[in-house]
Structure 1
């Protein structure tokens, strides 16, 4: 046996947080079997995880590469965490595509909330932090909408209401291996213009032990929680996993459970967007100086709790050397209870406000001043929001493999379903004169504010005591606007591979079929009581507050000094007056009729066929391997929804409140297309340690699914002009891109490290953007303009808001990675280091006026610079690790607001710390800190002086143990 040195350990204590798919103790010097994935406990004891359920051809399709990989893995003696990282390097080394891999020990041993954290330590991969934790992955300068994600080779549905996967839905404890495919091959499911991320679970039959049990438990503490009302600082993570083999090792059973409970914590200082209008500072007088005025600012505490529970079950039957039948299911539920309390100062640019003592930023934008109102519209509203979200993902299927001599056949049938229910409650209370009378009026108010770029600004009120005085404060509006999404996939794939003997060029031929039916449903409803700023004289009067449903909260920590506010139990206020929210579809033009337009379904039916040949030949005295292939993808897409028409001309339909409308017609639109996707991957082996890769392929990503909803609303302006809104189109074309990669790789002896450097280019044919056309010719796309009853003639053509295929762009980049252990003598040989860096650029630019004047913004998801570095020490008993990740500024539409806003996220660097100590052979202890420096997320509109959202989430401390039997 060749004793391999330990490769770079990105983290230590890897037996902690390891559930099914990544555990089975083997002893101090156990050797892994060919194709297995190693995992270690926190103190460096050796455990062995089973091979993945997914077809290994998706990782190393070339027959010779598979043999080399198996040989390399079979010679590994694992003596700590670094053994599994060695395997990650070997998977990358022998793969036919350019890829980066994290194995179970990488994932289970890192201080990760989900696998997203582990993925961000790979070259060219970064994440957007949502609610303080990595969620949406960006890859090579593209957002998550252009990333294909699979679990055991099966497309994953999304809980985001759009295309991107929320990776915090996947506990790291339940995933055995994750691969980021930077280049494509014909046998890979299409969908990833940015990259493809393949997550895999484990096969219990390949576990080294007949029976194994792993228990992990950790308590957590959030250092920010004490500053946030409604947040509990304490939490926990736990997992239990079992693997067993029966009937002479022909039947394998694996069960896994993982649960996380932690506080939902965030303190926010928010500068709201401008409406893009150049407005008078003295709006009532409409005279004097002008500026681009933000709509307001927010001070808010978000408290609550997050609970994620994941389950995994696998049964594998391998009766002989020819057959393997696998049935497996994965389910994860994530309940995020989030309540927001504080202030929302609105409306600075609403027509009744007066701005004095102005402070100007670039482009004559207003970044500070004193705003006063005359009792209408402008108010320092007290908020009591509920943004609780419940999401769930189910993925399961049946996989059959048959091998006989040169023939290899696989068939897989799957069913996946994702559900997301965002409650989205917006509550406002304001100070009133004459509260409790028939005609209360909004009090005159004043706000003095100053934005401070990407740091916390200032805000003060002229009479702060009125906002905690129950004699003044009344609940003006309570609105429930649920976002409910269902995302379903029914898939079937099959492939046949035939190995070629004595062929001088090709080792095998492959062909396969892929069928997938994708159904998406958006269900919008609403229930609203009252209205912002209103007083008496309405059928829904302002509701006085009482001491039993309110409490006074004052700010602490970095936010101390801001005005105290009322924490309002809004449901209790409604209940005291006999009111109970009941959101429904609302088609009443005097209500929330937009719910009919924004509800609908989208259907995508995919029918693919692929052919691939694996290459193994000699060129100029050196080995040349890889593959060449072609994938033909046919997609039929359609959408059903409601189109608003003149009242009396539509199909009668009754909404959830019993109102019968004749203002809508059902609509169904769609199209189909076929794309041919060739691919070539070549690896030129200079010697055993050095190789050069070249890859070229055409890749595809389907349109963002929520942009394909067919619903459309309409309205008339000035009694003369007809306009259409909705912003979406089911006739959008997919994104395709020609991709080119050139990569050099050097692997150090005995797998003690690597150095890689490569360049890439992506020529994307189109991007999907939203646009508003003025004086649009509606007849040109079949939209009938109604008759103006005042003239007897059709209304004039007005504006048309839709989504369209904008011109594409080119992305170019450079990536490099270095990992090394045992580069110092003596006691320092236990020290290891690793780092990677990626540079990406694109000439793409889009225009936004959310900051005021038009500003050209970069491609969403693109950070020019992304890097990570790790330093660790491990002597077998004690281990310590610190990891830092960096990404430069980038554009995203995930800004916190009522609707998505396109903003810049400022550059950020985060650090995680982990230490571990081995008590006994089976018991390890650990201590870790996430977000060591309490790095916030910071956004801005166009330029840094136009403050967006500053969010502080706090540090999270973990302490726990792992028991492995």
Structure 2
């Protein structure tokens, strides 16, 4: 080892320590490439490594003196002979060990052997990864305390579109049965597509040419039972899952075909107690200022969910130099869910009389009695803002995701060239209706008036509170109840991507530091559209005769309004209610909803619109394989240059008929708006460094540094804005901003890794630090220069000149950034006991994360500082598993401490506190022979609820229970 080489390597490390960086990663930089050109080592779960093996399956001999990590990985993977969960653990250990970056992996042996409910559930077994449950299912993923909008997600190396209406991926769109491997990359390198300040989640389908068998066919069928569904009207406790997969090799192993299908049917179940947010302006009760909550709800969420997924792969490898791969994935998800119950609403702004108040130490109302105003609101008889309304909200959603492409790879001598063409599309259509029925006096007369009412409530912190009404029989009396209002707010999202990616790698024969140099281009066009619509009937507060005289309350009958009572437990004391079939009620009166964009509800026009983003990237990377002080050093150093163009066609309100003639969905023409297309272009430089020092065969130290970026949530890039004139100034309001900059961060990682012999376990300690420059928030920008930013300012007729600049209510990158730092610990061990107990294994993960970044909130009434959304200080998982002969079993638990995140309360998303959660699952499988196996699972074994609150735990937000789910089924293999 000469001094020159030592100095060069140390200089690379110094550059990494000093640069502004973060992590955004993919598979090992010099591991065998998968079908799409992504670098990943040999697949597990019955897949044989191809790029590093000869025709017999044995590792190829490298003509160089140093053994590359992919050869080492191929050798260790081929020695793994255990089955069940032990196999997945040992395979994942080897992927992690031989990666060029900090990476955690869940393999197909893991997902397929003892199937997870979802990809999100599988990911929660990894250190520093937590899931947020939506509807009882793990859906949105947080990595190192950062939410899904900070995470990049790929499938076969291709960035995925989203059905969420924002950037984050809803992982319940992806059947776990069709995904072969999932990796979480926590450090970045130049050849990775940018976008993951929190990390990158890389899903991968199987390559049929790497299957050990010439032909294989797997079938899995399971029935399920939900323990709480029988308590919820309209929910069915029994459902099923089914999947089938085929892989075949033809034409002397030059042609591979893979096909997969997965179907899921399950009930949508939740019992909810909801306390709505607080007014930031206190009312005076008993001579003291008190922050009032908006109202209280009790709900049953019912319905059913159905998902069908399809996957296809064709691989043609005519010789050792050329591979052509075509892949396609499609998932269609229907969530036919609804929410029925009772809602005591509008306690604030004098809408109700509050008596016997119970006030928390922070001055918030946490109990009392709310009653109608004697004589009516504003002294108008029959006009009541307060009511205990019966609700029937349609929350159904239809979503689908397509992702596919064609990949070509050519290898000859030191050259490797890949080219990948891809297209993807996601669509989401949410109905979003809000239906209320109220008790009336004089129903059937010429002027029915909403009845006087009274209800009492008491919050019990993180437990279900109290809810009672003064006259419970009135709310199930068909002679007094009538449908007051029907509001439907459909939201339709389209998210489309087209991309081309190419990489050229050249291996260096005798370079003392770099074993290869690679570079490439990435071109992507991303188009996003949001369509907001509305249709309204009646009035929610009984004043139809004042605002909608031609839309009176609609009578109910026993066929479309069924008396429904709660069935024991914490909810058993609540009053019975009518389960409404709102569409049937409308149809009986000859009314058909017809939601459209509507100028009379101009937010439907300004909140609709599109975003067009063009990305042009180039990268250069050097792959390191050298020695320092007699020890092997691997890794990479590189630079990614990202050029972005983002523009948003939309509407800007100018008023006074100064705009263009534009028709809404009902054919009404307005001339108060102009079409605009504001936006910006920018270029970013993202350096990265990964170094892995191999202390000996069992111990290594990693250092990683990178500058990374996450693009702003795409729904906040829309340009549609409404306007108002005030004191000679022109003002715009939208909450969105097409001029938003990305969120940038600098990240460093330092880890120590110890691996036990024969891939039987690992201990890993990783210390990380991120500095995030800024966050996006909604602000009011005073004296905003509209003309300079592409907005048309109308002329003031009194002066003959444009109006003066006023305020712009918009989204902006001005929230002060801050650090996110922590430590992750991982311990995996198999075969630590002798004899029959050698199949016992354990997997333990723990992560501590903290941040000084805080966000202002007044949802609890009083001003407060909330923690960074998505950040739990403590995240842990533990699994005890046992594999012996034909039997496998596993008991697993996931824990996360309290965190802040957006949650749907009523029809609004509010940033609230989530209480700590412990979710326990149990799984067992028995292989009767080589072809037939049985499976039993219990998910959410302890019926862990989701609990949220405002500010402190005395101010309940939502308590909801989802029940336990039991699975039993069989698997067939041929």
- Which digits, 9 at most, give the CA deviation of each residue in 1:324-383, with x for residues without a partner? 001110000110000111011111104231111111113211111111112411001100
Q: Is the 8 A contact 2:84 2:110 kept in 1?
A: no
Check whether the contact 1:111–1:930 (CA below 8 A) recurs between aligned residues.
Answer: no
Q: Does 1:569 align with 2:578?
A: no
Give how far 1:830 is off.
2.3
Deviations 1:204-238 (A, max 9, x none): 11111111111110000000101101000001001
After TM superposition, the runs of 4+ consecutive aligned structure 1 residues lying more than 4 A away are: 47-53, 719-723, 773-799
> Cα 1:370–1:790, aligned 2, differ >3 Å: closer, same or farther?
farther
Q: How far apart are 1:110 and its partner, in Å?
A: 3.8
Three-state SS of the structure 1 residue aligned to 2:594 is coil
Which residue number in structure 2 is paired with residue 804 of structure 1?
812
Corresponding position: 1:579 with 2:583: no
- Aligned to 1:952, which of 941, 955, 961? 961
Q: Trace 1:429-578 onto structure 2 (pairs within 5 A).
A: 429-537=437-545, 538-558=549-569, 559-578=571-590
Aligned match of 2:23:
none
Aligned to 2:756: 748
Aligned-pair distance for 1:66?
1.6
Deviation larger for 511-520 or 524-533:
524-533
| Alpha-carbon distance in 2 for matches of 1:859, 1:955 | 31
Question: What SS does the aligned partner of 2:353 have?
Answer: strand
**Is 1:703 aligned with 2:702?**
no
Q: 1:597-636 alignment to 2 at 5 Å?
A: 597-636=606-645
| Local SS of the residue matching 2:447 | coil
SS of 1:943 mapped into structure 2: coil
1:37 paired to 2:37: no
| Residues 775, 110 of structure 1: alpha-carbon distance in 2 compared, 3 angstrom cutoff | farther
Q: 2:541 and 2:790 mapped to 1: Cα distance?
A: 41
Deviations 1:839-871 (A, max 9, x none): 111100111111101110011111111000011
Seen in structure 2, the aligned counterparts of structure 1 residues 51 and 665 have a Cα distance that, compared at 3 Å, is farther
- How many Å apart are 1:65 and its aligned residue? 1.5
Which consecutive residues of structure 1, in runs of 5 or more, have no partner in the other structure? 1-20, 23-33, 40-46, 54-61, 283-287
Residue in structure 1 matched with residue 740 of structure 2 by the alignment:
732
Query: CA shift at 1:536, angstroms?
Result: 5.0
8 A contact 2:223–2:241 mirrored in 1: yes
Partner Cα separation in structure 2 for residue 899 and residue 87 of structure 1: 44
Instruction: Select which of 850, 872, 884 maps to 2:859.
Output: 850
RMSD: 2.2
Residue 666 (structure 2) pairs with residue 654 (structure 1): no
* Structure 2 counterpart of 1:202, from 203, 206, 209: 206
Counterpart in the other structure of 1:400: 408
- The answer as to whether partners of 1:438 and 1:536 remain within 8 angstroms in 2 is no
Give the match's secondary structure for 2:195: coil
Structure 1 equivalent of residue 361 of structure 2: 362
**Counterpart in 2 of 1:222?**
226
Question: 1:733 & 1:794 partners in 2: Cα distance?
Answer: 29
Cα-to-partner distance string for 1:499-528 (whole Å, 9 max, x where unaligned): 111211110000000001000000111111
Going from structure 1 to structure 2, the CA distance change for 1:65 and 1:525 (only over 3 Å counts) comes to: same
Residue in 1 that maps onto 2:302 = 303
Kept after mapping to 1: 8 A contact 2:84/2:888: no
- Cα displacement string for residues 373-431 of structure 1 (whole angstroms, at most 9, x for unaligned residues): 12411001100110000100000000000000110000000000000000111101111
Tell me, in whole angstroms, the C-alpha distance in 2 between the residues paired with 1:824 and 1:202: 34
Note the C-alpha offset of 1:647.
Answer: 3.4
CA distance in 2, matches of 1:873, 1:130: 31
- Contact 2:493 2:528 survives alignment (8 Å): yes
Gap runs ≥5 in structure 2: 1-33, 53-65, 377-383
Picking from 162, 178, 181, the partner of 2:166 is 162
> Does 2:925 align with 1:916?
yes
Q: Distance in 1 between matches of 2:388 and 2:690?
A: 60
How high is the TM-score relative to the length of structure 2?
Answer: 0.91
Residues 846/774 of structure 1: CA separation in 2 closer, same or farther (3 Å cut):
same
Q: Post-superposition shift, 1:915? A: 1.5
1:342 aligns with 2:341: yes
How far is the alpha carbon of 1:445 from its aligned partner?
1.0
Partner of 2:421: 413
Contact 2:678 2:791 in 1 (8 A): no
> How many angstroms does 1:597 deviate by?
0.7
Q: Using the alignment, how far apart are the partners of 1:274 and 1:863 within structure 2?
A: 24
Is 1:143–2:147 an aligned residue pair? yes
Equivalent residues of 1:923, 1:964 under 8 A apart:
yes
Q: Shift of the alpha carbon at 1:791?
A: 10
Q: 1:645 to 1:110 in 2, by over 3 A?
A: farther
Question: Does the 8 A contact of 1:895 with 1:903 survive in 2?
Answer: no
Question: For the Cα contact (< 8 Å) 2:114–2:924, is it kept in 1?
Answer: no
Pairs aligned (count): 910
Give per-residue Cα distances to partners, 1:144-201, cap 9 Å, x unaligned. Answer: 0010000000000000000000001111100011110000000111100000011001
Matched, 1:232 2:273: no
Q: In structure 1, which of residues 254, 267, 271 is the aligned counterpart of residue 271 of structure 2?
A: 267
Q: By how many angstroms is 1:946 displaced?
A: 1.4
Aligned to 1:694: 703
Check the 8 A contact 1:50/1:204 in 2, yes or no: no
**Corresponding position of 1:907:** 916
Of residues 381-390 and 67-76 in structure 1, the stretch that sits farther from structure 2 once superposed is 67-76
Q: Contact between 1:893 and 1:903, CA under 8 Å: does it hold in 2? A: yes
Q: Give distance in 1, aligned partners of 2:587 and 2:187.
A: 57
2:311 is aligned to: 312
Q: What secondary structure is seen at the aligned counterpart in 2 of 1:184?
A: coil
Q: Structure 2 matches for 1:718-729, cutoff 5 A?
A: 723-729=731-737
Question: Aligned-pair distance for 1:103?
Answer: 0.6
Of 784-793 and 530-539, deviating more is 784-793
Quick check: 1:767 aligned with 2:775?
yes
Question: 1:792 deviation in Å?
Answer: 9.6
Residues 808 and 76 (structure 1), Cα distance of their counterparts in 2 relative to 1, 3 Å cut? same
Q: CA deviation at 1:557?
A: 2.7
Q: 2:322 & 2:616 partners in 1: Cα distance? A: 27
Query: What is the CA–CA distance in structure 2 between the aligned matches of 1:948 and 1:237, rounded to whole Å?
Result: 33
SS in 2 for 1:901: strand
For 1:323, the equivalent position in structure 2 comes to 322
Mapped contact 2:148–2:167 kept (Cα < 8 A)? yes
CA shift in 2, pair 1:941/1:621, >3 Å: same
Pick aligned residue for 1:90 from 88, 94, 98: 94
In structure 2, the residue matched to 1:861 is 870
1:131 and 2:135 aligned: yes
Whole-Å separation in 2 of the counterparts to 1:129 and 1:63: 44
- Give me the whole-angstrom Cα distance separating, in 1, the residues matched to 2:512 and 2:224: 59
TM-score by length of 1: 0.92
Name the CA shift for 1:791/1:672 in 2 (closer, same or farther; >3 Å).
closer
Distance 2:506 2:44 in 1: 30
Q: Per-residue CA shift, 1:515-564, capped at 9, x if unaligned? A: 01000000111111112113453121111112221110001132111010
